Structures are given as C-alpha cells and as structure tokens.
Amino acid sequence: MMRRVRVVALTALLLVTGSVMASVPAFAVIGGSKSTYGPWAVRILVDGKPECTGTAITSQWIISASHCFFEQAQPIADRRISFRVGSLDMRKGTTVRPVPGRRAGSAHADMMLIKVPPMKVRTARLATTGVHVAQVVRQYGWGATCTGDENACQSPVLKQSTLRVLRPTDPRCIGYTAPGGSDFCMVKVSGIPAGGDSGGPVMSIGPRGTETLLGVFDGSDRESFAQAGEISQQLAWIRAVIRH
C-alpha cells in the first residue's frame, strides 16, 4: 500500500511517464461515518475485486488516481477493469466497463480520466478555484475500515471522512506536498482515508447538489494526514480530454 508519497520522486516520475505507475492496491475510510449521499461516487474493481474509488464528472467520464490502473509498472488491461455506479452500496450498483483505449493520465498529477458508456448518475461539479488553508472538506470511499489486512476489510457501503486543509509549508505536510506542487495536504478531523479510497473524491461541504470536486485522494498515513491532487490545477487538462 502507498503510504507517504515522496514529492520530489513523484514529480520526477510524473514528468517522465505522464502517470504514476505504482504496483500497490489503492487507498477507505478508517473511522469516519457511513455516507448518506454521494451519487457521483464510483467503485473501481480489477478482476472483480475492489481496488479504488473514483468520481463521475460527466455521463461518460470518471476521474480517479493514475496509480490505480498500473501493476508492476504496467497498465492494467481494460478488460480487467469494471466500475460500480449508481448506489452507495456497491453490491447494488450498475456495472459499466471502460471504453477500450480511452484512458488518459495527467502529466503533472496522480490523476486518470477513463471514458465509459453513458451512465445514469448525478455527476460532480469541478472546482474552478483552489482549496484554502483551514477549509474543511469531505473525502468519500469504499476502502479499508481497519489497519491490518486492508483487503479483508473493504467497506461494501460508501463511507466518508472529514479533513481540514493545511498550509503547503506546514511541517506536518513534509512528504505529502510541496509548495507549488499538484497536491494539497489535509489533517484528520473525523476518520482517515486508507486502502481502497485512492482516486476517490475530496469534496467541498454544502447542501446536497451544491458540492464541488476539489481533489482526487492519493495517499495517507492511516492515522492523521492525507493528500489529494487539486482539481483546479488540472482543469485545462480535464477539459481538453473530455472534449474528444
């Protein structure tokens, strides 16, 4: 499992490859609470087994973390990937599969866009401005609820954690973010994302239907701190990909 991302090494890898090629299962919510809302949340499976979380941003595009789609530095074949959409309980959702050959990884962040056939789900609005220091945000996922064998305690229902954004220069963010980098750093308020939550949405908090997608979760220490790629920094890339 990826724990603390070394920012310098990650940045170098992104510049060379255009995506993060990790061979680890993705990051669920330890503690936190059961979600009662999250129509845009997507469960990602590989070979039918829970792997990551994602977000529907249009009726045909899902965004998640790039590292969810690689094993041993090699891309996972489209035929092995499926998504469960339309339900907070992944056992009741609808299955959709990637459109072959329609994946795109960001060159500057741990983010992947995947095209699928049309989905009948509410989609997430993208943030057009960055997060601000001390902002309280909410992260969603179906990931691990324990700190032992995370594959054995994946949640079948969507869970959520509450986190607070820290300054990029905060000493507690060393190893998670760097000033001017693509990620932002958060500290636990209630619950912490873990294995199986990678790629899941970090949302603003507001009345239902008014939330915006602020980030794509990509790592935590399973105790107090987490990081996410910032959507506003990747808007030009996202819009360019989904136009085609």
pLDDT tens-place string over residues 60-103: 999 999 999 999 999 999 999 999 999 999 999 999 999 999 99
Lowest-confidence region among 106-110, 114-118, 143-147, 183-187 = 143-147
Same domain, 110 and 190: no
CATH number for position 75: 2.40.10.10
The Cα 143–Cα 200 span in angstroms is: 9
Outline where DSSP puts E strands in 135-224: 136-141, 159-165, 183-190, 192-193, 201-203, 212-220
Q: Residue 3 has what pLDDT?
A: 38
Examine residue 146 and state whether it is found in any structural domain, yes or no. yes
Same domain, 140 and 211: yes
Examine residue 35 and state whether it is found in any structural domain, yes or no. no
Same domain, 97 and 140: no
Q: Quickly state the pLDDT bin for 1 (edges 50, 70, 90).
A: very low
For residues 158, 51, 55, 89, the Cα torsion angle rounded to the nearest 10 degrees is -30
Q: Residue 11 has what pLDDT?
A: 34
Q: Residue 4 has what pLDDT?
A: 37
3-state secondary structure of 231: helix
Q: Where is pLDDT greater, at 196 or 13?
A: 196
Same domain, 119 and 131: no
Same domain, 208 and 115: no
Q: How many CB atoms lie within 10 A of CB 80?
A: 16
Same domain, 157 and 225: yes
| Domains contained in the chain, number | 2
For residues 44, 50, 51, 52, the Cα torsion angle rounded to the nearest 10 degrees is 50
pLDDT over 60 at 6, yes or no = no
Same domain, 139 and 112: no
The residue range of the domain holding 96 is: 7-24+40-123+234-242
Same domain, 149 and 218: yes
Same domain, 200 and 104: no
Examine residue 29 and state whether it is found in any structural domain, yes or no. no
Examine residue 1 and state whether it is found in any structural domain, yes or no. no
Q: State the average pLDDT for the chain.
A: 88
Same domain, 107 and 17: yes
Angstrom CA distances, 116 to 13, 95, 173, stand at 27, 11, 35
3-state secondary structure of 157: strand
Q: Residue 21 has what pLDDT?
A: 33
Same domain, 47 and 149: no
Which run of H or E residues covers position 9? helix 7-17
Q: Residue 178 has what pLDDT?
A: 79
3-state secondary structure of 150: helix
3-state secondary structure of 153: coil
Examine residue 2 and state whether it is found in any structural domain, yes or no. no
Examine residue 100 and state whether it is found in any structural domain, yes or no. yes
Examine residue 30 and state whether it is found in any structural domain, yes or no. no
- What DSSP state is assigned to residue 131? -
Examine residue 34 and state whether it is found in any structural domain, yes or no. no
Q: Residue 227 has what pLDDT?
A: 96
41-62 core/surface letters (b: 16 or more CB in 10 A; e: else): bbbbbbeeebbbbbbbbbebbb
Same domain, 60 and 179: no
The Cα 184–Cα 10 span in angstroms is: 14
